[in-house]
Amino acid sequence: MTIRAVVRGVGHYLPERVVENAEFEATLETTDEWIRARTGIERRHVAAEGQTTSMLAVEAAKAALVDAGLTADDLDTIVVATSTPDLTFPSVGTMVQAGLGMHHGFAYDIQAVCAGFVYALTNANGLILSGQAKRVMVIGAETFSRLMDWEDRGTCVLFGDGAGALILEAQEGEGTSADRGILSTDLNSDGRHRDLLYVDGGVSSNGETGKLRMQGNAVFRHAVSKLAETAHTALEKAGLGADDVDWIVPHQANLRIISATAEKMGLTMDKVVVTVQDHGNTSAASIPLALSVGKARGQIKEGDLLVTEAIGGGLAWGSVVLRW
């Protein structure tokens, strides 16, 4: 008998306001055609004034609880992956805890930028396997619109806001790759690349929130080489290969990165859940959003083998293999 962290429910929330690519044509030297061709992005959601990351996270968490047929009383822990917290502290996790009316257990944040959800899933898996928690709400929630330099066409057209949530539950498995739940994880980072993707402000540097800065081209090259590698490593750890994969659920940054990664893995695009056209890059929220949308579309079904992979600022990257 082996304990596995099994998906019990999933949900998401997107802010009401949708910004189409064409809106940028009024203020920037860019076109809908360029954005679509270079990124696959067609639109993104943007949080309303006063709408914070924890508010998006609470809505996603409520949707996941409904999907699971559970209430907040049934949770032990909340882990939120975010790089855009409401405040420097307390954590978004504790704000979600209060927002759900949960007065027990513990909640906290994880910050690994676009790789945040993969890190949070790995962390939650550890809590479950070590017996510290039986049910964990894992959330990716971001308001990256707050970090945009709206005059930088190389970044501001790429990002969007949103939240997704997954409930993991301890269940008994056989200890084989046929089990439902998280089967393997692979995390990596290399701090030498901090200047490729960062925010030029912070509490202990200049006391400002700052704006996102990115050398897109260099990040692109790292992404294409590192994502297929981490996915392959995670599959190998689970004793599986690319042939076993039903769905790649990638971080949604750029359709060209997504398709290049699938190709390197030897898989065709009909095995990839793609939401980047409607959400843009929502950083740590993009994978749980894609999981929730993929399930709602009827793509992801119980028993399917999923590989998630993500890379972002740090650089930090990784992959999780799970059977839905």
Binding site for ligand UT7 (CB under 6 A): 30, 34-35, 38-39, 114, 153-154, 157, 216-217, 219-220, 223, 253-254, 257, 281, 311-312
Active-site hit among 12, 45, 232, 251: 251
CB of 141 to ligand UT7, least distance (A): 15
Shortest distance in whole angstroms from residue 138 CB to ligand UT7: 19
Look at the block and give the residue holding tokens 């822990």. 77
Check: CB of residue 17 under 8 Å from CB of residue 45.
Answer: yes
Q: In Å, what is the CA distance from 219 to each residue of 45, 61, 197, 283, 313?
A: 23, 31, 8, 14, 9
3-state secondary structure 133-167: CCEEEEEEEEEHHHHCCCCCCCCCCCECEEEEEEE
Residue nearest to ligand UT7 (CB): 216
Which of residues 223 and 293 has its CB atom nearest to ligand UT7 in the complex? 223
Nearer to ligand UT7, 186 or 309 (CB): 309
Q: Which is nearer to ligand UT7, 93 or 280 (CB)?
A: 280
DSSP H or E run through 113: none
Instruction: Tally Cβ neighbours within 10 Å of residue 20.
Output: 12
Among candidate residues 12, 21, 45, 114, the one labeled active-site is: 114
**How do the residues of the chain divide into helix, strand and coil, expressed in percent and rounded to 5?**
40, 30, 35
- Of the pair 34, 106, the CB lying nearest ligand UT7 is at 34
Q: Which is nearer to ligand UT7, 72 or 223 (CB)?
A: 223
CA atoms of 66 and 71, how far apart (whole Å): 8
Instruction: Give min distance, CB of 57 to ligand UT7, in A.
Output: 19
Q: Could you tell me the smallest distance in angstroms from the CB atom of residue 227 to ligand UT7?
A: 9
**C-alpha span between 32 and 67 (Å, rounded):** 36
Nearest distance, CB of residue 75 and ligand UT7, angstroms:
29
Q: Is residue 156 annotated as a catalytic residue, yes or no?
A: no
Determine whether 45 is an active site residue: no
Enzyme catalytic residues: 114, 251, 281
